[in-house]
Structure 1
Amino acid sequence: MSIQIRAIEPKDNPVIAELIRVIFREYKIDKPGTVYTDPTTDALYELFEKDGSTYWLAEEDGVILGGCGIYPTDGLPDGCVELVKFYVSAVARGKGVGKLLMQKSIESAQHFGYNEVYLESFPELNTAIGMYEKAGFKNLTGPLGNSGHFACNVWMLLVL
């Protein structure tokens, strides 16, 4: 496997948006208050032009396998950034693609000078949650910031 991790480009928008929505349907979490209905999902390149943010894609032989980024979500404490839009296609799971994407995003958070990484998820994504726990994320009792993703009910924080 020769997986490349690279920054998102404008041409990637429709491909990664469809990959995200396929995964949401797969896990039956395609509902309001999630990335599934968030209009920014169709314009991730533009979203991640914001200072202090970045979005990484995993690609193999020209096929996008997944993506993950960091974003300074409104309302987060100073020095905290959100790990966002972290999805890996079914064919690429279990091959270390997610771990590569998450590590690259955490390195980016450190590069930008953040000292905490926050995330929101769902219990249905238990494999991802296990990966977050292995990386040192701890469960929180409620959400931080104003992501607008009110349907999420798992909140975690990593202190860098």
Structure 2
Amino acid sequence: MSKPIIRPIEKADNEQVAAMIRKILIDIGVPKVGTAYEDVALDQMFETYDRPKAAYFVVVADGNIIGAAGVAQLDNYEGNVCELQKMYFLEEARGKGLGSEMMKICLDAARRFGYDQCYLETMPYMKAAQKLYQRTGFHYIDGPMGDTGHFSCPVHMLIDL
């Protein structure tokens, strides 16, 4: 595998990003209902993040997208809080430090956009991801913020930016 690069999403990436995320969600056994799997935005990620105070990034190696993540305003929330959204990596991208690099890029973007905090939702069994989030400075909170529609994701975390 060539050295992966992280870059902003392009319109031509939409189909590959949606397929990658859905494959990962199926592979790890995430419910299709109440998770990112059924998000309408999944098929239009470039358009979804092509707005103020939002950014989505992809990890590319050998011409293939092997990971992705982004930040945008937390849905249905009044405060100045963004959400770390749709951060997923194919198996071949894991354990190479790409998650840490992606977290830095996403949180730096959130800071540039002027957000005060960044929120995320995940699944209880996604322990490796939670360790990464904690190493980055996220801490667990007691319940959801905003209303993302991801009612099947019961783990909530927050970081002050």
Q: Which bracket does the TM-score occupy, shorter chain normalised?
A: over 0.9
SS of 2:38's equivalent in the other structure is coil
- Aligned twin of 1:144: 145
2:111 partner amino acid = Q
Task: Report if aligned partners of 1:82, 1:117 keep a CA contact under 8 Å in 2.
Answer: yes
2:55 partner amino acid = T
The Cα shift of 1:77 comes to 4.3
Structure-to-structure mapping, 1:80-119, within 5 angstroms: 80-119=81-120
* Structure 2: runs of 5+ lacking an equivalent: none
- CA distance in 2 between partners of 1:127 and 1:77 (Å): 31
The Cα shift of 1:50 comes to 2.1
Q: Structure 1 vs Structure 2: percent identity of aligned residues?
A: 36
Q: CA RMSD in A?
A: 1.1
- CA distance in 2 between partners of 1:66 and 1:25 (Å): 15
Give the TM-score, by structure 2 length. Answer: 0.95
Task: Report if aligned partners of 1:21, 1:30 keep a CA contact under 8 Å in 2.
Answer: no
CA deviations 1:71-112 (Å, max 9, x no partner) are 102223422100001001111100111111111000000111
- CA distance in 1 between partners of 2:85 and 2:123 (Å): 13
- Aligned twin of 1:23: 24
Divergent runs of 4+, >6 A: none
The Cα shift of 1:13 comes to 0.6
Count of residues in correspondence between the two structures: 160
Give the TM-score, by structure 1 length. Answer: 0.96
- Aligned twin of 2:56: 55
* Structure 1: runs of 5+ lacking an equivalent: none
